[in-house]
Structure 1
């Protein structure tokens, strides 16, 4: 897409990395398409004209292109000149899943567990230092799930809520968690979108309505009820579940969350809430890139929409806040997947 100059964007770095790998523009395009296919990314075309535009600064790469470049060249976004590094972000990626092979030996299993611990520490806002904190407890639970994934499974199921605003990256981070742990992944849109659209039409509204009082009072509660009932079906069978949905109202309602904790405690189920934090610029880019009809109102009324968001303050109920500004956390998730594959093969 045509774009104006972006802060920190240094297009020449892409060419430097391509030439360092001995690739022509055509060869880099072939490699980029193969990398994107392996990781489930959409990079339409990836021909030499598009890559030439990326390297000469006439086209700023979209999020899937940037992720594919990072995976291809084993480098971070700042390394490739897409942006300036975030405060505290290493200039070189330290951890450079979901077809993961089984651990081949205890040493490989331990090395993989260490990679997962490092990834969780890095994506957490302000890191994880207190071994007795909720963040550390959740990290330990994820690592334990990794160790048990090829064994007897988790002795105690856990319900993980992954919330965040539209375009924050919560669905992709949920997939990352599911890749590592093997826990069931339930996405609200996948489970309820068809039903919600048909219900909105039957009520005389637009199928893509996600902002009117009609949707908020009549349809949204049913979406979350379907999501939670699907989670209970898994949890009652002893299968842990990761739920991906905004959870904006729910996680900011401490009474609601307390009721959920009490219900889970009565069933012997643990609960964890993760909030994916992102900046408005990055959220808009992700929303524009996915091109979903349900986002039309947000994009058409962006200033009004953003004014109602509290992007700097996570809900008080969140056990862990993931930093996904400018794609940092999701990029790290990709790097972790690749690191685990290298360790275990």
Structure 2
């Protein structure tokens, strides 16, 4: 296990647990509470936590997110991985000053910290305008106000990149409905593939790409236009790999939004291949079976340096860094504590 995670320092988990005076059983109880708040798949007991602290079992993605919330640290500070550029480095000691850092920040600060994951992907976008629009929607929603002028936010990225988590966070802040491609079309897509002589969970064949995928995205976009025509801002959650790669598609989309006086934001969630594989394996979806069976072949089809054509923003979720900030903001907004 250590060879697979050379930067892992499991002793830091025990150090932080003991610093705040938790037993293994108490830590498990708090992790289960955190799982309930964040929708995480955690069934923590003292044996599991002991295994994590002794270094015999590397925690899965939901456990790592739970530990980050419990100890108010990021994954690098808890010794799970190396720090990203600009990210706080691992905490080697847990002395008294660290306790103050675990105090929940005020809500606007936490929201802005989570939104700081979004950065300019091209020079012709206004990052502050997007952040302020999201914060304004959150503020008005929390005080019962209304927002004039709809927005469309496209959140795209490769499978397992964390795009759905980020889209859900934006939706929870703004109250804007989320149209998830899979939730919206999966039952129909599965049956259509079968009717055409394919397999229900196929997402890699020419049959899917040529006959089914265009209809899948058409359904998603038509549902979005229905919302926009009613003045309802909408967040779209889908890979958008082919669409974002086509300058013509992007231009047509922007033109249509402009004709409807709709503001638009295109967000690309980037992630490293190891983290994507871990999340895909963790969710265990039938549609991902081929990816897992032929990971290197699948990975060879991805351009990890890809960026959308035209104006866009980028969320850096390498090693789960952006999702960790989202979890922090959710805790602050819900008043969750230790």
Same fold (TM over 0.5): yes
Distance in 2, matches of 1:335 and 1:240, equals: 25
1:124 aligned onto 2:122: no
Distance in 2, matches of 1:332 and 1:127, equals: 19
Distance in 2, matches of 1:303 and 1:270, equals: 39
Q: Which residue of 1 aligns with 2:18?
A: 19
Picking from 318, 322, 337, the partner of 2:330 is 337
Distance in 2, matches of 1:74 and 1:125, equals: 24
Q: Which residue of 2 aligns with 1:178?
A: 171
SS of the residue 2:62 aligns to: helix
**Pairing of 1:136-285 with structure 2 (within 5 A):** 136-149=128-141, 150-285=143-278
Structure 1: gaps of 5 or more residues = 97-107
Distance in 2, matches of 1:54 and 1:255, equals: 50
Distance in 2, matches of 1:75 and 1:152, equals: 34
Picking from 286, 289, 305, the partner of 2:282 is 289
Moved more, 145-154 or 75-84: 145-154
Picking from 75, 78, 81, the partner of 1:80 is 78
Q: Which residue of 1 aligns with 2:33?
A: 34
Picking from 300, 305, 308, the partner of 2:301 is 308
Residues 44-79 of structure 1: CA deviation (Å, up to 9, x unaligned): x31211111111111110000000111112111112
Distance in 1, matches of 2:331 and 2:257, equals: 34
CA pair 95-189 structure 1, distance change in 2 beyond 3 A: farther
SS of the residue 2:85 aligns to: coil
Distance in 2, matches of 1:211 and 1:78, equals: 35
Residues 1-38 of structure 1: CA deviation (Å, up to 9, x unaligned): x6744031000111111111212212211111111111
SS of the residue 2:78 aligns to: coil
Q: Which residue of 2 aligns with 1:64?
A: 62
Superposition CA RMSD, Å: 2.4
Q: How far has the Cα of 1:336 moved from its partner?
A: 1.6
Q: How far has the Cα of 1:80 moved from its partner?
A: 1.3
Residues 243-298 of structure 1: CA deviation (Å, up to 9, x unaligned): 00000010111111111111111111111100000000000000000000100111
Q: For the Cα contact (< 8 Å) 1:18–1:28, is it kept in 2?
A: yes
Q: Which residue of 2 aligns with 1:55?
A: 53
TM-score normalised over the length of structure 1? 0.88
Q: For the Cα contact (< 8 Å) 2:72–2:101, is it kept in 1?
A: no
Q: Which residue of 2 aligns with 1:105?
A: none
Distance in 1, matches of 2:244 and 2:84, equals: 27
CA pair 117-86 structure 1, distance change in 2 beyond 3 A: same
Q: How far has the Cα of 1:82 moved from its partner?
A: 0.8
Q: Which residue of 2 aligns with 1:103?
A: none
Q: Which residue of 1 aligns with 2:95?
A: none
Q: How far has the Cα of 1:40 moved from its partner?
A: 0.7
CA pair 264-95 structure 1, distance change in 2 beyond 3 A: farther
Q: How far has the Cα of 1:125 moved from its partner?
A: 4.8
SS of the residue 1:167 aligns to: coil
Distance in 1, matches of 2:101 and 2:231, equals: 32
Q: How far has the Cα of 1:302 moved from its partner?
A: 0.9
Q: For the Cα contact (< 8 Å) 1:135–1:319, is it kept in 2?
A: no
Distance in 1, matches of 2:148 and 2:201, equals: 41
